Amino acid sequence: MGKLPEFFVDQDLCTECGDCMKAVPQAFRKVEDEEVAEVYNWDLEESFMPRVQQIMTDCPGKAILWRKK
Ligand code: SF4
């Protein structure tokens, strides 16, 4: 099994809804003392791909992005 490519939250776009943390708590968490989300772990098995792609689509700020190499 491979790993997912790196992804991140653009905090300027995050609306602080918290959906990503509920959808994939293995990857997203709240930034300490703030309401915006961050990716604390992108070292995930490929099996997470559908869930990550779904929350990228569902994120109201379209704030979850692949890190361009
Ligand atoms: S789903 Fe999008 S807008 Fe909502 S907390 Fe996560 S990154 Fe922010």
Pocket of ligand 1 (CB under 6 A): 9, 14-20, 37, 59-61, 63-64
Instruction: Looking at the structure, give the CATH architecture of the domain made up of residues 7-66.
Output: 2-Layer Sandwich (3.30)
**Structural tokens at position 14:** 């995050």
Q: Whose CA is nearest to atom 4 of ligand 1?
A: 17
Q: Whose CA is nearest to atom 5 of ligand 1?
A: 18
Taking only the tens of pLDDT, the chain with its 69 residues reads 689 999 999 999 999 999 999 999 999 999 999 999 999 999 999 999 999 999 999 999 999 999 987
The model's pTM: 0.94
Q: Whose CA is nearest to atom 6 of ligand 1?
A: 20
